[in-house]
Structure 1
Amino acid sequence: MIKIKKGLLAITVLVLLVYVTGEYKPARYYSLLCVDTSAAESGEWNDHYDGYIIGANGCLYDPAIVSINDVPSVVSASSQETLRTPIWYVNGANHRADWVLPEMHLLAENSGRPVVAIYNATLGGRLPDAISDGLRESKVAKTIASQIIRNLLDHQDVYISCNSQGAYHVSKGLSQAITTLSGKFDRGELTALLSKVHVETAGGAASAFPDGPQYIHYVNSHDPVPSSAGVLSGGAQPGADAVIVEFSGHDDDALEPKYRWVGPLTGKFLNVHGFNLYRQYRQPFDATYPKSNPS
C-alpha cells in the first residue's frame, strides 16, 4: 500500500512538473535588452503583458500609452512599397513574448507588409487560460478594439492576422469596436468604415465574427480546431461575404518545436495546426478577397 501511495505521489509530481514547463506555462521574463524608454518596463511575467503591443525591437508597449502606429514594425526584404499598411498579428496560445517575434518576421516575409503584434499571453496553460478568458475581460480584445476605433476614426485601413486562439480575441475585439462605433455613425457610414478592416484567420478557434469587416479564413481539413471551434463548426458565422480557403496539408517540420519543448501529442497536433503550415498556404489578402483594394 505504501509503495502504491508513493507511486501515485511520484506520478502526481511528474504531471505537475510537466504542466508548469515551457509547453504548458510559458510565463517567463520578456526581453531585458529593450532600451526604448517609451516601452513598458521589463522583468514581469508574460501574463502581465497580455494585450501589449510587440515591436520589431522586441520591446512591449502599453496600448493605453502608446499607439500601435508608433510601434516599430518588422520589415522584411520582401516588403513592397505599395503595401505600407502594417499587419497586426495576434498569436495563438502558449507563446512567450519572445516566441512571437519569429512569427512576426515570417509573416512580414510572406505578406510583403510591415508587421507588429498584439500579444496574447497564456495564463497557466490552454485549459486554465480558456476558463480565465471566459471569466474575465479579454485584454487582447480591448487592445484590438481601441486600436481599430482609433485607426478608423482617422480613416486608416486595418489589417489583422491571427492564429488559433488569437481568432477568439479578434472576434471579441471586433464586436467591441463595432458596438462603440455604432453609437457614433449611421448604418451607411458604419458600413463604409468597417470595409476598411481586413481580417485573416488561420486555424482560428472562433466560430462567430461580426458582419462588416472583410474576412479570409484559412482552414486545414486535417486540423480539428476549425471544425470543432472555428468557422467549420456547427452554426458558425464566419462574417458576411467571408472567404474560406480550405486546403489539405501536413507539416513534418513545424516551427513551434524549434523554440520550445512540446510533447508527442502536441507535436502531432502542430503538424496540422502550426503557424508555419498555415503560412505556406497564405496568399495576399487583396488578391484573395475579391472586393478588397490594396493599401
Structure 2
Amino acid sequence: MRRWGEHPSPTGQEALVSPIDRSRSAVTPTTVKAPTAAPKNSLVGGVVDAIKGGIADVPRFIEMGKDVFQAAHVNELKRIFGGDAKPDRMNDGKFVGAKGQTFPPGTPLKEIPGVTPLDNPNPSKTILYVNGIMTPTSGQLSEMQAIAETADAKVVGIHNATQGLVADLAQCVADKLDKGHNPAVDALADTLYSELKAGREVHLMGYSQGGLITARALDDVAKRLRIEDGMSQAQVEKTLGKLSVETFGAASTRYVDGPKYVHYVNNADPVPTLTGLGGSVDPTAFLKDAGKGAVVHRFTDGNANPISNHMLDTLYMKHRVDFDQARAGRF
C-alpha cells in the first residue's frame, strides 16, 4: 500500500495510465461549410438573393420566414417572369403526339401518333389542337387527352410554348396586332395550307391564346391562297370551307370567312368576354366578326374564380357537343 506523499512506481499498474495532455481541446473540431449562394444566372435568382441578403441580420423568426418565402414563391415568380421557360421554348411550334412525343413542323399529320380515347385506340376522326398561355407541353398533353375523350377523336397538338405570364401576354398583344414571329402561328398556317392544297379536310381546335393563334393562322392561309395561288375571294372561302374550327374561351375578335366555325364563350370567363367575341351582353359586338355563318354558343357556368371559369378540360369540355350537332344549334 502506498502512503500519502509517496510517488507511484514507474513499473506499477498506474504507469499504464497516460497523463492527460491539457494543451488539446476536449471537443473534436468540425469543419463548417460556407452556405452555398443561390444561383444568380436569372432574374428570379437575383431577386431571391437580394431578399436573403437584406434580412440576413434580422431575428431568427424572420430568418425562418425567408426560407418559407423562398419555398412557396420562387416557382410562382419563375412562372410569371419565365425563369425556367427555356425547355418549353424548344418545343414552340412543334407537333405534340402520344406520350408527349414532339415532331418538327412540316411532319405529315398522318405520320404523327396522336392522343386517342382510352377506350378507342383507333378513332375515325383527327383533331388538330393549339393550346393557350402558361401551358407547358405536359399540360397540353393533358388537355389533348380531355379532348380525345370528349370528341372520341385522335388529337394532334401544335404547341404554343410558354415563356412566363408576362412574355405570354405580350405575345397575345402581338398576335392581336398581327405583328412579330410566333412559331405556333407559322406551323399551323403551313400545315393548313399543305392539307388544303392536297384536298384534305381539317378539324382544328383553339383554346384561349390558341384561338387567337388559330385566327391569325387562318388569315395567313387566306392571304397565301390569294397571293400565291391567285384565288378570288369566293375561291378562297370555298377552299377554306374544308376547315372545321372550334374555339373555346378564345381571345380573338375576328375570324376570316370560309371555315365552318363553332365558338364557345362562357359569360363568366373574362378572356373571351373582354378580349374575344364578347358575352351575351356586349356593347362592342358591332366591332367583332365571328366569321360568316359562325355559330357562337354563349353560356354561363362557374364561380367567383375567373381561372376555373376559363379552364378547358374541367369547364369548356362539359359544354362541348358533336361538331355537326353544334353547327345545327343543338346544345
Give the TM bin, normalised by the shorter chain.
0.7 to 0.9
Note if contact 2:249-2:271 (Cα within 8 Å) is conserved in structure 1.
yes
Q: Which of residues 168, 186, 190 is equivalent to 1:129? A: 168
Note if contact 2:79-2:165 (Cα within 8 Å) is conserved in structure 1.
no
Note if contact 1:79-1:114 (Cα within 8 Å) is conserved in structure 2.
no
Describe the superposition over 1:172-225 as per-residue Cα deviations: whole angstroms up to 9, x where unpaired. 111111110123133443222111111111111111111111111101111111
Note if contact 1:79-1:108 (Cα within 8 Å) is conserved in structure 2.
no
Q: Which of residues 297, 303, 306 is equivalent to 1:269? A: 306
Partner of 1:95 in structure 2? 135
Partner of 1:152 in structure 2? 196
Q: Which of residues 161, 184, 187 is equivalent to 2:205? A: 161
State percent identity of aligned pairs: 26
Q: Which of residues 199, 220, 238 is equivalent to 1:192? A: 238
Secondary structure in 2 aligned to 1:105?
Answer: helix
Correspondence 1:31-50 to 2 at 5 A: 45-50=87-92
Secondary structure in 1 aligned to 2:262?
Answer: strand
Give, in angstroms, the shift of residue 17 of structure 1: 2.8
Give, in angstroms, the shift of residue 16 of structure 1: 7.9
Secondary structure in 1 aligned to 2:268?
Answer: coil
Partner of 1:282 in structure 2? 320
Question: Is 1:114 matched up with 2:114?
Answer: no
Structure 1 window deviating more from structure 2 (282-291 vs 175-184): it is: 282-291
Greater RCO, 1 or 2 (C-alpha within 8 Å, sep 6+): 1
Change (3 A) 1:110 1:23: farther
Secondary structure in 2 aligned to 1:198?
Answer: strand
Give, in angstroms, the shift of residue 26 of structure 1: 8.3
Distance 2:289 2:120 in 1: 33
Partner of 2:294 in structure 1? 242
State the AA in 1 paired with 2:297: V
Distance 2:168 2:188 in 1: 19
Give, in angstroms, the shift of residue 238 of structure 1: 1.1
How big is the alpha-carbon RMSD for the aligned residues of Structure 1 and Structure 2? Answer: 2.8
Describe the superposition over 1:37-75 as per-residue Cα deviations: whole angstroms up to 9, x where unpaired. xxxxxxx611121111000131111114x2233211112
Gaps of 5+ in 2: 1-52, 56-65
Q: Which of residues 253, 265, 287 is equivalent to 1:219? A: 265
Distance 2:196 2:119 in 1: 27
Query: How many equivalent residue pairs?
Result: 251
Distance 1:248 1:78 in 2: 31
Structure 1 window deviating more from structure 2 (178-187 vs 198-207): it is: 178-187
Distance 2:298 2:121 in 1: 27
So what's the TM-score if we normalise by structure 2? 0.69
Partner of 1:173 in structure 2? 217
Give, in angstroms, the shift of residue 80 of structure 1: 9.8
Distance 1:72 1:170 in 2: 22
Change (3 A) 1:116 1:27: farther
